Amino acid sequence: MQADPYPWPHDGDLQPETTALLVIDMQRDFCDPNGYLASSGYDIAPTRAIVPRVAAVCEKVRTWGGLVVFTREGHRADLSDLPRLKAWRSQQAGAEIGSAGPMGRLLVRGEPGWDIIGELEPQPGDVVVDKPGYSAFYATDLERILSTRRMRNLILTGVTTDVCVHSTLRDAVDRNYECLVIADACAASVQENHAAALHTIKTEGGIFGAVANSGSLSFEPEG
């Protein structure tokens, strides 16, 4: 598959049985004008703009036979898994985790704002992983799910490019997964951060994998 800085995966061995799509945190709290991100003062237009492309990538991967994994960031209702520093940072941003918002308590599991947006509702056969941190590998069973199914290649989409997507990407690379980030199916609250995060992936010959656009995502044999 054509990607930057190299055709992905590097060995050309791309099989649905060993490939998973990660859809990172496409939740109302990050993609709705009444959610956590908007309450922090950020423009959610970039996170909304990617929804059709994320949906198209999901459909491509499902049709091909690959695994689709959704993640949701959020905390227990009693906030017992919320570190003090993370709570403090959310206060400084003006959207304290656990405080009341238009769609329930911000970033709290089970609240309406915490769930995945309707346009991307998980389908039968998809997997949903709930996480308390930025990386989808931290304090979750994602690694067990992927290793049990003998996954090798990961395709990443979602929000935000520079925080949860990149945190998951770096953890995946350290676990020897070969990653492809879909640039126009990811978004950040600050465009400069989005661009820098993508650029970092491609440095040193693809230190964190490769980058492609959704239009070039193809599972047909080349040549």
pLDDT, tens digit (0-9, with 9 covering 90-100), for 47-65: 999 999 999 999 999 999 9
Active site residue 25: yes
The closest alpha carbon to 21, from 103, 123, 127, belongs to: 127
CB 82 within 8 A of CB 75: yes
The CA distance from 136 to 220, in Å, is 29
What's CA 120's distance to the chain center, in Å? 13
The structure's pTM equals 0.97
Residue 223 pLDDT level (bands cut at 50, 70, 90): very low
Catalytic residue among 29, 32, 131, 162: 131
141 in a structural domain? yes
Containing structural domain, residue 65 = 16-216
Does residue 87 form part of some domain?
A: yes
Cβ-proximal residues to 56 (8 Å cutoff; 6+ apart), any chain: 214
Q: Around Cβ 92, how many Cβ atoms within 10 Å?
A: 9
**46 falls within a domain:** yes
Question: pLDDT of 94-119, one tens digit each?
Answer: 899 999 999 999 999 999 999 999 99
C-alpha distances (whole Å) from 88 to each of 83, 91, 94, 130 are 9, 5, 10, 22
Greatest distance between any 2 Cα atoms in the chain:
55
94 inside domain: yes
More confident residue, 94 or 26: 26
Which one-letter DSSP state was computed for residue 106?
Answer: T
Per-residue model confidence as pLDDT tens digits over 137-169: 999 999 999 999 999 999 999 999 999 999 999
Integer-rounded Cα radius of gyration of the chain:
17
> What's the confidence (pLDDT) of residue 40?
87
Report whether pLDDT(70) > 90: yes
Please report the pLDDT score of residue 221 as a whole number.
65
Does the pLDDT value for residue 73 go beyond 80? Answer: yes
Residue 1 is assigned to a structural domain of this protein: no
Mean of pLDDT over the chain: 96
Q: Is residue 64 part of a domain?
A: yes
Query: Is 222 a member of any domain?
Result: no
* pLDDT at 222 (0 to 100): 58
201 has a pLDDT exceeding 60: yes
Catalytic: which of 25, 115, 126, 162? Answer: 25
Q: How many domains does the chain have?
A: 1
Looking at residues 193-204, what average pLDDT do you find? 98
Q: What is the pLDDT of residue 111?
A: 97
**Given 164, 179, 186, 202, the catalytic residue:** 164
The CATH code of the domain that includes 178 is 3.40.50.850
